[in-house]
Structure formats: structure tokens, C-alpha cells
């Protein structure tokens, strides 16, 4: 589903959590999500670069993404920017998957940021499945009392955004310590 940008992977992650339990389902869905995103990246790189550029030529998302990638490449912070994009829902993951090759984002950076960046959402989805399974088991068992805590609450959302902003800490540290390389005199290579 990730490879072809079909929506609904979150439901499969929840289902896997309910069926296989947290450790197995988390590893399985994290691997599948990362490999699917990498497959979409490679397919876009090999077959669809010009099509994606034509389809999204007037998209403000593509232009903004291009500007940010250029900025973070210049400052050697591209990995942290990609990690931030993966953790937060600022740009849809399918858009990041198919547009990254257009801006020559190295595959290693894409892979690493994807693996680490989708882990929090994957964990939450799988854990939701585990919790639903436990709640349904508790409802079937007349001797158990299921607790009524919501699965996705304000604390979960704040935690996700907190993790996302942790990805920007190295960038901020570079700026505060003066190690930020914002010298515009370097020549830009066009590919």
C-alpha cells in the first residue's frame, strides 16, 4: 500500500497490533512501511520523475519543499529536516515519497529518516490495535473491567509533536553555537 500510495495503512497497522501483539506487529509494520516508502521513492526515481514534476509543477507544496530541501542541504541538516517531515503531518507521506527523488535527496538519508520518522506513528497504531484487542477480550470476559481511557488523546498528540521537534534539536544547536554554515558563496551545482 505504501509503494503505490494507497491510503489505509494505519488500519492495517492497527489490525496487525490486534492480531500479533506489540513486539512482532511493530517490527513487521515498521519494516513494511519503510520498505514501501523506499519502493515508492525508487519507482518515482526510475520511472516517474518527469510525470511527478509535470503533475505538481504548479503545486505550492512542491515549490516549498524544493526551497526547504535546498536550504537544509546547504546547511548539512537534510536528514533532520526529512525526519521532521516524517514525524509530523505537514506534508503527506506519499508526497514526500514520490517527490524526494526530484530534489536528489540521497537514498540513505531518505531511508534513515523514514525508518526513524514513521516509528512513533507506527507504534501508536500498533499499540491501538493491541489495546482494542485487550478491550474486546475484557468485554467478553465478564470478570474483567475494561478501563475507558481514550486511545488517542491530547497527551498522545503532544508527545508526537514533541518527538518531531526533537528532530530539529541538532539544527538549533548548530545555529546557537554558530556552526551553521549559511555562507552563500558556495557554488551551486545543477544536476
Which sign, positive or negative, has the C-alpha torsion 106, 109, 112, 113? negative
Residue 146: predicted pLDDT: 42
Per mean pLDDT, which range of 57-61, 116-120, 131-135, 142-146 is the poorest?
142-146
Whole-Å CA distances, 99 to 62, 117, 135, 164, 165: 8, 17, 40, 21, 23
The pTM assigned to this predicted structure is 0.71
What share of the chain has pLDDT > 70, as a percent? 82
Domain ranges of the chain: 9-138+150-177
3-state secondary structure of 174: helix
Q: Where residue 181 falls among pLDDT bands split at 50, 70, 90?
A: low
pLDDT at 132 over 80: yes
CB-based contacts of 186, cutoff 8 Å, min separation 6: 74
Q: Burial, 122: exposed, middle or buried (Cβ in 10 Å; 0-12, 13-18, 19+)?
A: buried
Q: Which residues of 157-186 are buried (b: 16+ CB within 10 A; e: fewer)?
A: eeebeebbeebeeebeebeeeeebeeeeee
Burial class (CB in 10 A: 0-12, 13-18, 19+), 6: exposed
Please check the confidence at residue 82 and state whether its pLDDT lies above 90.
yes
Alpha-carbon span 168 to 187, nearest angstrom: 26
Q: What pLDDT digit, counting tens, does each position of 1-53 carry?
A: 888 888 888 899 999 999 999 999 999 999 999 999 999 999 999 988 778 77
What's the pLDDT at 156?
66
Residues 6+ apart with CB under 8 A from 129: 13, 14, 15, 16, 17, 18, 19, 25
Tell which residue, 13, 48, 20, 14, has the closest CA to residue 34.
Answer: 13
Q: What average pLDDT does range 46-63 have in this prediction? A: 78
Mean pLDDT of 174-178: 76
Percent of the chain scoring above 90 in pLDDT: 36
Amino acid at each position: 500500500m505504501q509503494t503505490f500510495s494507497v491510503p489505509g495503512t494505519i488500519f492495517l497497522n492497527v489490525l496487525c497490533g490486534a492480531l500479533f501483539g506489540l513486539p512482532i506487529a511493530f517490527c513487521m509494520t515498521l519494516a513494511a512501511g519503510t520498505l514501501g516508502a523506499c519502493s515508492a521513492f525508487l519507482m518515482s526515481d526510475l520511472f516517474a520523475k518527469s510525470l511527478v514534476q509535470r503533475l505538481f509543477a504548479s503545486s505550492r507544496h512542491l515549490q516549498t519543499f524544493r526551497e526547504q530541501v535546498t536550504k537544509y542541504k546547504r546547511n548539512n541538516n537534510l536528514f533532520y529536516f526529512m525526519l521532521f517531515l516524517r514525524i509530523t503531518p505537514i506534508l503527506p507521506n506519499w508526497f514526500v515519497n514520490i517527490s524526494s527523488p526530484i530534489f536528489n535527496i540521497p537514498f540513505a538519508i531518505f531511508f534513515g529518516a523514514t525508518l526513524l520518522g514513521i516509528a512513533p506513528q507506527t507504534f501508536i497504531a500498533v499499540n491501538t490495535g493491541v489495546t482494542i484487542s485487550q478491550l474486546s477480550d475484557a468485554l467478553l470476559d465478564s470478570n474483567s473491567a475494561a478501563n475507558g481511557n481514550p486511545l488517542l488523546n491530547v497527551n498522545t498528540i503532544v508527545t508526537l509533536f514533541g518527538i518531531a521537534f526533537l528532530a530539529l534539536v541538532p539544527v538549533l544547536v548548530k545555529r546557537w553555537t554558530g556552526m551553521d554554515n549559511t555562507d552563500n558563496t558556495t557554488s551551486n551545482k545543477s544536476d
